Structure 1
């Protein structure tokens, strides 16, 4: 790191330099212009299924195989997924918007949350994997990092699948669900 005060890298590293104020609404508008896939992360605790819609999901490393997702610290799913330590990711197809909306609904009933979607149990984790997903991964929690009001959950990939090889992914862009044209 440069010690030259005219070097922008030196200014960014100085904790005494106040960060500019950024409007949170404008922030959401700007980052919403980054198209993301949509996935549901699931786990099972005490025989009860739990799931949450995420669009903050990405690959991290090839050696070891790692992925991550972000979860709001106030979400019910947060503590459950951290306690179980294993989870599955189902990347949704464009015809699974209803599943995305359901698993993104705060305060939804917890009894039988998967009743409307065909799924199977992952062999490595026991977590639900949607039959119609374009991709599925089973993971074991590798690390959890502070991410402000979210936790960044990094998982070691234990198993992979492509449940619907011909499916087209559900996309989220500018606050709306979309498909690939």
Structure 2
């Protein structure tokens, strides 16, 4: 690794703004987390997706503790994660809004299809993971949902994922 001459500065008691800014230097993919289909569909934009285990296949997403998604996932015991392609930027923005579309309107906006888990899948996604809820863990103002992958969908290997970095959308060069 090459040292670029940058000096890290210590912040003894970091605040929310500086924490968010520091986390923003870590580029992430952008996903749509879905639960249900048709009239029952809820969707949210999410960039907290982590691979947890290969045996069994487990992944982790983080949702607000008091948000709409958590009780729906807990009740149904399932969810899907759709990894967005660069072309899906507008969907990312739509489902990040507090007044985002739900139900049939959300299905139409996504052009969604129902997966084997009963959750909406985005046909244009670069990958999609259908999960059964394996565990949930409270963590501050969020809940970590660990899903056991029961179905996996992959797109063409040359599809470019939608990225987020420093508070903006980014692209692979």
Instruction: Give the TM-score taking structure 1 as reference length.
Output: 0.83
Which residue matches 1:132? 124
Conserved in 1, the CA contact under 8 Å of 2:58 and 2:149? Answer: yes
- Contiguous gaps of at least 5 residues in structure 1: 1-19
Which residue matches 2:3? none
Does 2:107 align with 1:119? no
Q: Find the aligned partners of 1:92 and 1:135 in 2 and give their Cα distance.
A: 8
Conserved in 1, the CA contact under 8 Å of 2:38 and 2:107? Answer: no
- Contiguous gaps of at least 5 residues in structure 2: 1-11
Q: Find the aligned partners of 1:169 and 1:45 in 2 and give their Cα distance.
A: 24
Q: Find the aligned partners of 1:169 and 1:95 in 2 and give their Cα distance.
A: 9
In the TM superposition, what are the counterparts of 1:124-163 in structure 2 within 5 Å?
A: 125-163=117-155
Q: Find the aligned partners of 2:164 and 2:59 in 1 and give their Cα distance.
A: 19
Q: Find the aligned partners of 1:33 and 1:180 in 2 and give their Cα distance.
A: 15
- Tell me how far 1:80 sits from its aligned partner: 1.2
In the TM superposition, what are the counterparts of 1:85-124 in structure 2 within 5 Å?
A: 85-111=77-103, 112-123=105-116
Q: Find the aligned partners of 1:54 and 1:31 in 2 and give their Cα distance.
A: 15
Distance 1:76 1:67, change over 3 A: same
Larger radius of gyration: 1
- Tell me how far 1:47 sits from its aligned partner: 4.6
Task: Pick which of 81-90 and 136-145 moved more.
Answer: 81-90
Does 2:23 align with 1:31? yes
Would you say how many aligned residue pairs link Structure 1 and Structure 2?
A: 161
Distance 1:128 1:46, change over 3 A: closer
